[in-house]
Structure 1
Amino acid sequence: MTPIPAAIAEALIAAGHRLDARGWVPATAGNFSMRLGPDRIAVTRSGYHKGFLKPESLMVVDLAGQPENPALRPSAETGLHCGVYRRFPGTGAVLHGHSIANTVLSRAAGPSLTLAGYELLKAFPGLPTHDASAEIPVVDNDQDIARMQAGLEARWDGMGASPPPGYLIRGHGSYIWAADMPGALARFEALEFMLECELATRRSA
């Protein structure tokens, strides 16, 4: 069995505390992961509240989402994490949360949601100033994770060499990733801030 280093366990647990404090992972919603090596990731187990994670709330799967310990059950959406690690080899951490803003806006959006003019766009790669825009893909929710991942692959193929490091699942939540956990947290918080601004703007229109 591949051990989960204490530093990685602590980073995943701390991420749970941080996102829970902001109301972005209610009940047992959300899931997190970090890369352990070229073909292994540590991921949160199914059914655990992310604000109360412990080392035993984590487990190891391969890049196909298969558990090393078959007695443990990973999140149902582990395949989406694995899809990110396979597609973007520089990824070290993936976060998935369910905020009010990302849920409401994704339900109203078309195939993408454009964010423009925000200072926090600088959290995304290749956007050095606020004078930019990012097209965040929005994909339909689907209980068939393999089919959803295939749809994502097709979307990424059509977005050129550098698709944004995140997407929204319609009526469900957001996924974001980066080379390490601090980077993933920064991008997740930046995305959620911009989504909250978009939601507030639409409510006041």
Structure 2
Amino acid sequence: MSIEHEFQTLAAELIAAGRFIHARGWVPATSGNFSARLSDGSLALTVSGRHKGQLTTDDIMRTDGDGRPLDGKKPSAETLLHVALYKRYPAVQAVLHPHSPNATLAARLFAHELVLEDYELLKALEGIDTHESRIVVPIFRNDQNIPRLALQVDEYIEMHGDIYAYIIAGHGFYTWGSSVPDALRHVEALEFLFDLEMRLHGLKRG
């Protein structure tokens, strides 16, 4: 498959993911950003400021593996967060970043991390095959200095081991997978689990 054909295929998958995520209210206005990695190491990435429920192929651009534009279009300001994940995880082929309400609010209830434990739906996450699992979703302070934030995330992973997702306080969350459909499954499963935790802990504090 040529790189151009591969790009078109991944762009179509990102467009479909955008419509799915927007339909559930997880990328309001022009929030969020999505990417996928091509076989040559370049990235297909949503153009800055585009509505994710109305994406067209023109709203998907290419960057090199370091996030530098290859087609003159403007990438998301958060491109380096995608780049850092691709460099950390060679098997990752897609990164999705919605601004879902539950992930946005989670940092108001949980200061540094959200623990998901003993849920059947954890098996929707790649590599987990039992509900008797425990994952930690770290929460980072929002930071307009994206290189600094990307370094903070990478240092956390280096110190604590692999993670499935992370939340940026008051902002949204990042998750990833070995394909766009896999990453989208992670988005859906995690948002469901975030919702349960918000209800549970909100009731406890009420």
Residue of structure 2 equivalent to 1:133: 134
CA distance in 1, matches of 2:164, 2:65: 18
| Structure 1 contact 137–168 (Cα < 8 Å) conserved | yes
Structure 1: tracts of 5 or more residues without a match: none
SS of residue paired to 1:37: coil
CA distance in 1, matches of 2:151, 2:85: 12
Amino acid aligned to 2:193: M
CA distance in 1, matches of 2:21, 2:42: 24
Kindly tell me the number of residue pairs found equivalent between the two proteins: 201
| Structure 1 contact 94–178 (Cα < 8 Å) conserved | yes
Residue of structure 1 equivalent to 2:79: 78
Residue of structure 2 equivalent to 1:20: 22
Amino acid aligned to 1:49: H
CA distance in 2, matches of 1:10, 1:74: 18
CA distance in 1, matches of 2:48, 2:109: 28
SS of residue paired to 1:51: coil
Residue of structure 1 equivalent to 2:94: 93
Structure 2: tracts of 5 or more residues without a match: none
Residue of structure 2 equivalent to 1:176: 175
Q: 1:58 aligns with which of 57, 60, 70?
A: 60
| Structure 1 contact 124–164 (Cα < 8 Å) conserved | no
- Please give the TM-score of this superposition, normalised by the length of structure 1: 0.93
Residue of structure 2 equivalent to 1:201: 200
Give the alignment's Cα RMSD to 1 decimal. 1.3
Q: Structure 1 vs Structure 2: percent identity of aligned residues? A: 42
CA shift digits 1:106-156 (9 cap, x unpaired): 233222111112111112244321122111111111001100011011100
Residue of structure 2 equivalent to 1:157: 158
- Please give the TM-score of this superposition, normalised by the length of structure 2: 0.93
SS of residue paired to 2:34: strand
CA distance in 1, matches of 2:9, 2:71: 21
CA distance in 2, matches of 1:23, 1:33: 19
